Structure 1
């Protein structure tokens, strides 16, 4: 790939408006002023041996981890406790990750303070969606369409993690993920670029706080995986990615830039290759773009043994060659392989790697430690005697709020929901009913005891008479239980309504959990069939970490709730929604396809030269499969409430967006129901003709508004010229005059309120 930097003059020429320079949105950010390293760092670098420099660029898994943390990554050789402490004392270890033991952190830091140069250690962890308090998985939390919520949960997670000495989290994951087969989509914000940008920014700000990185309750964020990991072919983890530079710049770069613009000072190179060059050795990606165009002055760390995997890629001859390629490409720190410690000194002595390259990376690492306040106080976050900040009542209440705001109501025929809290006999059936462990979701390495948070407990607590609830597993996630279906049918027949808690276990999502099928396992579908055959109304509560194909589920249900993996307060949060204490307000951050064979499917796809004018009719020789239209069963942004939102008048003024002006969009939304509702009002735009074909729709803004029963709300959006930027033929941001379609709607693929506006030449 060629370098395609953007200068201020080029942006002016491309847009024709000087006002854009102060308003360039996230995703097309201009460079920032690099942070200058303190003078003492240069003095330290001058005193360091080659071995000490290599040590500052070497990160290992902690020798002391709990079982969940140890199982989160492949089994590799990890030093014993005594060996790690010795390495810290010798100044040959920059830090460790995934220990939650503050006493071990203290031992290591004391050892580092006995080293020759007394350079403090750095402690990192995979704090993905909570620490001891577990919040909804990031994909689920993104369904809230509330960046402020994501910022608050990240702040709470940082407060808990920093309390045991953790300085650095390997989060947020900001990969755009459009293939539901990919298990790691559960860690991100879904398929949309705008939502991905806003969530990335919010989570970075939450982790790092607003008092500076030297605040004892701040942890430095690490947007990952750079870059395009979510575009892995076939949704297969670690697989090849092959996308154009335009797609990188339009789709996959913007959430990273949003995270960096929010202050993130680290990033992680992805496992995948891009156009034949693995990211861990991709100089164009890590140096030309990240450092050159974006002026990123922070630390790039490899993913777990990512540098060593250059050998298996067929890109490096051996470990020594892999080390050379990674450091020269711009990977500052090696995670877990030990290759930098082993090979960097000799590579410098042989002249294959300039000392200046090593010093540059060491400078970045030491600068990060200085920003975290570790040189001022190496024990800043290591306070074994301090009062506990784990699982405080307010943090658990935040987890409950996040849980209920993450739930998405897909259908609600005959207003079967909310359930009545008294006088209604309810059967709770399915493998998720009492599985509190699974509701935590993947990447929960440090959590406490949430055994009281299962759905059964949450429903019992919400009911006036808990004896009216009958709980039956019916089946396992993928295996039948002896007599399970019979017991489930009996419970259903004795009840007024059935809640089916079915779906995926937490082990079905996350790293190394790609699926060829995105359907509910057959054994659970058989259970659903048997229960539905009783004629009792069925409410399905889905446990899932990805979009699912629900074509066989929808006809057998009255209502469907997407519950994701909701964390520490899962049961209580779900019960709040099921019984109407709060209404459902979540919206899908990923499109749910009609059938599994549609994936990868995402709403903002291209129109093609043969769009289907009547999707429901499946016109011949048009873009659709032979049996289904090219649309989602439940599109991005979809979600119902217990109210009755109705979209009314739309006002866009004169319908012209001038060069230096704005287009004010006003829409009225009524609630015709007898219950209050929270509606996520979404603004979509389509460019009818451009020098690069444009998506059928693009989300440009959204507002979450509360509307009282029988009430109305006016929602206002401000559309600016820079909101219409796209990557042009010269691979630079541009805006072109023309006619645009505009929709204010409750979801993608729904017309809602439609108008057109003009961008004059």
Structure 2
């Protein structure tokens, strides 16, 4: 529809019809049965007469249902304005990939874009128009359950992944291949105090601008159509009502023209935050601040019209927001085809297509991080295997947000290993948890049944596990947290593997058999004992439907692992939040002051994590030359080439992720000890060498100075190039102004 026609349509709308475009409900509200009055309507108190004006629907997820809802809605609509259908497609639709945090460990932006393209294709043919993804919140605290949805603790990586996901989802706006992307959670949600979900966020403006905002900005520069506000406060103002963020930054500085939407119930929650007396005031503050769509509350539907009539709210706020929603619908082609993409035949044709599953398997292979290996891996297929642990034959491999998955399509670890060996004995060994109350609440929320929460006879299971282990050449332990122990509303103060599994592990350790530990989780766990007593450790995350195949391919050497940690693994939960790019402090803990009590350190734990950012092993062994610079001096309009020679010193062909970090030695504000500024992935044949080059630009050296101007400062810089964030392979240069 041409813009003049869209404007003509908009001008013909009543105030209530405009407000309706700003309301998002779930499909239950459009059900005409008698129970809708005692169920959905009463649950949020929405005026029944406003429901027919609803502009968008949340989490309706198949073509037949969406077409039916759309048809019935349009038939009753005076202006035939179609609904927008939005859903949480986080790490895949039916072809479920590894969780985002796992994909972050691939350091492969092309791969991540391809996973988004496949997710978009499957969602589009099912009738979905918008996904609430990517989530690019900066994460430093493993206690926060939603680290699983983010990609990294690093600014550079998050920026790259934000762009990759948005362009993957949206493509060329083809209705059969693409959907709109809604970046979230703007802003700072990952900085929740104590890692407790929905908690207060206290960040300096400099930290917010330098670390937390860039990834959202990258998504917007990539063209994302929507932005979701976060639950938290910034500067003690909830983001959903934060004019500085939603108007000054998002609209004015970043020139965002798309639609904003609250997170679930967030507008009503302004009352709990203590900045609104009631739903009426909450509605006014949110809309005036710049939140266009109200997700799953009655605040806008019940109050905006009254606020206008009472002359407390300028109607221009409603007009601007409603027209943006119509523009999005028009941009997606819904006025020409309200059933955009939805096709049951295409669902059968494309969903879980073999090439999609192949890409999911590749994603597993590139995101599982090899943390330890004393030479036991890769395994010989002749070895007799005891596969022990709750995740050994579990289909719960997709993570909390995979509510669209058909678990019959999940390949278990046992199924994957049996493709290499017919000499495998499996035993659960223990329950996954000792208390399932923590996860039962979410079962009803998503309508999911978790088979690995069934009680088992632990004495019999332990006896079986010991017998199998004694008879085996190698024991593979498949352990981890319950998939509902990570994700939204899943904050933890204890990051240990659950007690029943650790008790099982300790009993197997006593048998002194070689142990390969597979760890399944949505966050970094405390793996000190696992590291100490395992011969190999593979961090598998929640790997998705091809988890079993991808993991087996790594274990048996068909694939040489290449993933690197995109988040630090703490030595102890007391270190959280922890990240590689810390500030030195006035009393840094260094090799030179070992034994000095009065430095910044713990007296009962190291400062450094158990496994640092960028870390990950391979079956290959790589050796680096010293860093070489094309010049030791650089001006604002010149560049420096930094290079190393990397050699594969092994008989295995492998992929090495070469990482470049920079440290600004002296500046007007304290700067991180290291910041990742670039990566290069190279493939090296056995004993092959390659030169790897990075270009250092003035842009890489900029930060928010003491005067809050974003610029570089003259002085000394250290360049590090190596295998991970702990590298000391360095060279210096000077920036001259």
Q: Determine whether 1:172 maps to 2:127.
A: no
Output aligned runs, 1:488-507, within 5 Å: 488-507=465-484
Q: Determine whether 1:223 maps to 2:183.
A: yes
Match for residue 198 of structure 2 among 222, 238, 245: 238
Report the equivalent of 2:690. Answer: 713
Deviation at 1:617, TM superposition (A): 3.7
Single out whichever of 391-400 and 645-654 deviates more from structure 2.
645-654
Q: Determine whether 1:757 maps to 2:733.
A: yes
Report the equivalent of 2:95. Answer: 133
Deviation at 1:185, TM superposition (A): 0.6
Let me know the Cα RMSD of the aligned residues.
1.9
State the SS of the aligned residue for 2:181: coil
Report the equivalent of 1:110. Answer: 71
Q: Determine whether 1:592 maps to 2:569.
A: yes
Q: Determine whether 1:155 maps to 2:110.
A: no
Partners of 2:659 and 2:678 within 8 A in 1: yes
Report the equivalent of 1:23. Answer: none
Match for residue 522 of structure 1 among 478, 485, 499: 499
Q: Determine whether 1:62 maps to 2:22.
A: no
Counterparts of 1:52 and 1:631 in 2: how far apart (Å)?
A: 57
1:381-418, Cα deviation, whole Å (9 max, x unpaired): 223344622110110111100011111001111x1101
Partners of 1:91 and 1:119 within 8 A in 2: no
Output aligned runs, 1:697-736, within 5 Å: 697-736=674-713
Counterparts of 1:663 and 1:215 in 2: how far apart (Å)?
A: 44
Match for residue 124 of structure 1 among 86, 92, 113: 86
Count of residue pairs brought into register by the alignment: 703
Partners of 1:618 and 1:628 within 8 A in 2: no
Counterparts of 1:64 and 1:519 in 2: how far apart (Å)?
A: 42
Deviation at 1:620, TM superposition (A): 2.1
State the SS of the aligned residue for 1:439: coil
Single out whichever of 621-630 and 125-134 deviates more from structure 2.
621-630
Counterparts of 1:722 and 1:386 in 2: how far apart (Å)?
A: 46
Partners of 2:495 and 2:526 within 8 A in 1: yes
Counterparts of 1:199 and 1:367 in 2: how far apart (Å)?
A: 27
Counterparts of 2:174 and 2:544 in 1: how far apart (Å)?
A: 29
Q: Which runs of 5+ in 1 are unaligned?
A: 1-35, 66-75
Report the equivalent of 1:92. Answer: 53
Counterparts of 1:469 and 1:384 in 2: how far apart (Å)?
A: 40
Output aligned runs, 1:174-573, within 5 Å: 174-209=136-171, 211=172, 213=173, 215-386=175-346, 388=348, 389-413=350-374, 415-421=375-381, 423-436=382-395, 438-450=396-408, 453-463=411-421, 466=422, 468-479=423-434, 481-573=458-550
Partners of 2:433 and 2:482 within 8 A in 1: no
Counterparts of 1:64 and 1:346 in 2: how far apart (Å)?
A: 22
Deviation at 1:103, TM superposition (A): 2.1
Residues 1:303 and 1:77: Cα distance change in structure 2 (over 3 Å): farther
Single out whichever of 383-392 and 577-586 deviates more from structure 2.
383-392
Deviation at 1:677, TM superposition (A): 1.3
1:562-591, Cα deviation, whole Å (9 max, x unpaired): 000000100000000000001111100110
Counterparts of 1:615 and 1:670 in 2: how far apart (Å)?
A: 32
State the SS of the aligned residue for 1:410: strand
Partners of 1:407 and 1:562 within 8 A in 2: yes
Report the equivalent of 1:69. Answer: none
Structure 1's consecutive aligned runs of 4 or more residues displaced over 3 angstroms after TM superposition are: 384-387, 449-452, 615-619
State the SS of the aligned residue for 2:227: strand
Counterparts of 1:409 and 1:756 in 2: how far apart (Å)?
A: 32
Report the equivalent of 1:14. Answer: none
Deviation at 1:170, TM superposition (A): 0.4
Q: Determine whether 1:630 maps to 2:592.
A: no
1:448-491, Cα deviation, whole Å (9 max, x unpaired): 2445511011000122xx1x111111111123723222221221
Counterparts of 2:102 and 2:344 in 1: how far apart (Å)?
A: 34
Report the equivalent of 1:5. Answer: none
Counterparts of 2:29 and 2:112 in 1: how far apart (Å)?
A: 30
Match for residue 673 of structure 2 among 682, 693, 696: 696
Partners of 2:659 and 2:680 within 8 A in 1: yes
Partners of 1:474 and 1:488 within 8 A in 2: yes
State the SS of the aligned residue for 1:633: coil
Partners of 1:133 and 1:448 within 8 A in 2: no
1:353-386, Cα deviation, whole Å (9 max, x unpaired): 1111110001110111111111222122223344
Counterparts of 2:22 and 2:119 in 1: how far apart (Å)?
A: 27
Deviation at 1:554, TM superposition (A): 1.3
Counterparts of 1:615 and 1:455 in 2: how far apart (Å)?
A: 47
Deviation at 1:274, TM superposition (A): 1.1
Partners of 2:625 and 2:646 within 8 A in 1: yes
Counterparts of 2:410 and 2:286 in 1: how far apart (Å)?
A: 47
Deviation at 1:625, TM superposition (A): 0.3
Partners of 1:149 and 1:402 within 8 A in 2: yes
Residues 1:500 and 1:602: Cα distance change in structure 2 (over 3 Å): same
Single out whichever of 400-409 and 56-65 deviates more from structure 2.
56-65
Counterparts of 1:214 and 1:534 in 2: how far apart (Å)?
A: 58
State the SS of the aligned residue for 1:758: strand
Counterparts of 2:593 and 2:547 in 1: how far apart (Å)?
A: 38
Deviation at 1:77, TM superposition (A): 5.2
State the SS of the aligned residue for 1:370: helix
**What is the TM-score of this pair, normalised by structure 1?**
0.90
Partners of 2:410 and 2:544 within 8 A in 1: no
1:623-679, Cα deviation, whole Å (9 max, x unpaired): 110033311111000000001111124221222222211111111111111111111
Partners of 1:612 and 1:618 within 8 A in 2: no
State the SS of the aligned residue for 1:352: coil
1:22-44, Cα deviation, whole Å (9 max, x unpaired): xxxxxxxxxxxxxx992222212
Q: Which runs of 5+ in 2 are unaligned?
A: 31-37, 435-456
Report the equivalent of 1:20. Answer: none
